[in-house]
Amino acid sequence: MPQTKTRPADDIAVEACPVREVLDRVAGKWSILIIVAAARGPVRFTELERSIEGISRRMLTLTLRNLERDGLLRRTVYATVPPRVEYELTDIARELHKSLLSLTDWAERHRAAISEARTAYDAGRLTEAG
């Protein structure tokens, strides 16, 4: 009978770190909103700023830089006065966008069931406390 070698939890955690780092970046609130907004095609900074409610100029700048650094956004600077800068999704970001659409679709389909489950859970908690 072949033996299966078990790996210590520390080994698994070390391997998971790079994956967690990527997920932390792309699953961030602002990253998701930027990826969704940029999915329409090349988009300018001010368009992103106007379309993403609640994001500060600084947070938008930092998130755009991080997404560009991670290879999810392509930044193009046009030699005009004033300079025009556009952001566009890369191929891997377009793939991520498809996954985000699937997740959004799932959330929409199950929104009512999750709301009902929360109500039932909360009612049960009230009964236990009472």
Proportion of the chain above pLDDT 70, given as a percent:
86
What's the total number of domains in the chain?
1
Taking 90 as the threshold, does the pLDDT of residue 126 lie above it?
Answer: no
- Full domain range(s) for residue 40: 9-129
Least confident among 16-30, 80-94, 101-115: 16-30
Taking 60 as the threshold, does the pLDDT of residue 4 lie above it?
Answer: no
CATH code of residue 56 = 1.10.10.10
The answer to whether residue 4 is domain-embedded is no
Complete edge-to-edge strand list for the sheet that includes strand 73-78: 43-44, 84-89, 73-78
The answer to whether residue 3 is domain-embedded is no
pLDDT in tens, 68-98: 999 999 999 999 999 899 999 999 999 999 9
Mean pLDDT across 13-32: 80
